[in-house]
Amino acid sequence: MRNKGILSLVAVGLFASSLSVVSVKAEGNENGLARKAIERQVEKPLEKGVIDSKTFNQLEKEVFGSQSHSVKGFNKMGRISSSSSSDYIFETEYNDDFDSADSASYEKGTIGQLLPLNDVDFHKVVVPSSGVLLVAGLTDSYVIDLVFAAVQKDFVKNSNLVYLGSEYDNGVEVQAYQAKKGTYYVGVIDHDNEYIDDNTEYDIYATATAFVDDVKPSKPTVNKVDNNDKVITGKAEASSTVTVKSGSKVLGSAKATSKGTFSVKIAVQKAGTKLTITAKDSAGNVSSSASVTVVDVVAPSKPTVKKVDDNDKVVTGKAEANSTVTVKVGSKTIGSAKATSKGSYSVKIKAQKKGTTLSITAKDKAGNTSSKATTKVVKH
């Protein structure tokens, strides 16, 4: 047995268009062109990490187990019977083109024959979302030179389905394709069937498919967060788990709704704190992080003011650290200054008459202004 690897789209197309289940060996150069297309196909090793060992072992298990289930699924005329297995799907002819393709399953392998001469089998597989489509193939027959490939309907070739390479182990070939959400087809042929009509009803092959979601969710969007908020809201991939962190510390997490909205409870954070928000899907893929800085919406506390007399040219007291303290008489500003890092302030003014009411406010760097403190100028 030789596993030739992936069959090019051209080769599969030529076979499908020129052969049928009841045909005899085709004349002309169609098969010759197909053979050349296959021989030109360069085997592409699959990069490490595309298929994890658990998935590869499961695919191997599915196709290896076919040998114990094959005979009872077929009759002696080389046609598939109506019997079925709880472990496998048996191909049902006529399945020689896209519209008559059998349906494959991620839970069960498929067992098939390549009879009569020049038989082509198609199996339909649905990819639920963007990710990696895996197709495994094996035959227990030395008269079948198994060639299979995942293709798009009518052999359309674009970025929706991109061949990543193949991996071999114990005679099993596993091919990987980066696929977008959609319906695809696994085409299967016997590479030597164009030359030798030596297949019997006991010569079978098995295929199996798997899907790996390797696409991380989009970066979440986050609504404004202030230093009063106890909830972070925004949008993320539907049903993903959204996690909010401050540095390496997890502040909270919650599952997004089916519509992608999320609401994560957190403790109130200080203004200026940088929060990072990520989304993890059910396959464990984690989005890139969105970040938001907690904004200050809390006004400073009302300043305290020391006694002011009609000789004083300075107003002193306490206010929010680093806030700007302003002293007014009515609507007229008579002085302002920045409080120290410890909150003390000293605002220069002109001496005011006895009985004048002064109002003192503090404004933080976010622009929030305190309520005003008042004091009356007393006689020295």
Q: How confident is the model at residue 250 (pLDDT cuts 50, 70, 90)?
A: very high
pLDDT at 313: 96
pLDDT at 332 over 70: yes
- What is the residue-wise DSSP string for 76-145? TTS-B-S---SSEEE--S--SSGGGPEEP-SSSEEEEE--STT--EEEEEEE-SSEEEEEEEEES-TT--
Structural contact between residues 197 and 25, judged by C-beta atoms closer than 8 angstroms: yes
CB 210 within 8 A of CB 221: no
Q: What is the pLDDT of residue 43?
A: 67
> Is residue 260 predicted with pLDDT exceeding 70?
yes
Query: What confidence score (pLDDT) does residue 75 get?
Result: 43
- What would the CATH number be for the domain defined by 304-376? 2.60.40.10
pLDDT at 193 (0 to 100) = 64
| 339 or 22: which leads in pLDDT | 339
Residue 179 has pLDDT above 70, yes or no: yes
pLDDT value of residue 5 = 32
Residue 208 has pLDDT above 80, yes or no: yes
Query: In this structure, which topology does domain 221-293 adopt according to CATH?
Result: Immunoglobulin-like (2.60.40)
Mean pLDDT across 366-373:
96
Tens digits of residue pLDDT in 86-137:
678 888 988 888 899 999 999 888 999 888 877 888 899 999 989 999 999 9
Q: Which residues of 281-297 are buried (b: 16+ CB within 10 A; e: fewer)?
A: beeebebeebebebbbe
Determine the Cα–Cα distance for residues 222 and 291; give it in Å rounded to an integer. 8
CATH 2.60.120.380 holds for 9-212 = yes
Between 121 and 260, whose confidence is greater?
260
pLDDT of residue 21: 32
Angle at 189 between CA 184 and CA 191, to 5 degrees: 140
Name the average pLDDT for the chain. 83
Identify the DSSP state of 321.
T
Q: Specify the DSSP class assigned to residue 283.
A: T
Nearest to 117 by CA among 29, 52, 27: 27
Q: What percent of the chain has pLDDT over 70?
A: 82
The verdict on pTM exceeding 0.95 is: no
Tell me, yes or no, if the two domains 9-212 and 304-376 fold the same way: no
Least confident of 26-30, 338-342, 355-359: 26-30
Q: Show the 3-state SS of 219-237.
A: CCEECCCECCCCEEEEECC
Q: What's the mean pLDDT in 186-203?
A: 79
- CA separation for the pair 206, 144 (Å, rounded): 12
The per-residue pLDDT for 41 is 45
What's the pLDDT tens digit per position in 6-61? 332 223 332 233 223 333 333 333 333 433 433 444 567 777 777 777 777 778 77
What average pLDDT does this structure show over 311-317?
97
pLDDT at res. 180: 95
Q: Are 124 and 183 in contact (CB under 8 A)?
A: yes
Q: Mean pLDDT over residues 143-161, rounded?
A: 89
> How is the chain split into domains, by residue range?
9-212, 221-293, 304-376
pLDDT tens digit sequence for 280-289:
998 899 999 9
DSSP state of 350: -
The per-residue pLDDT for 42 is 54
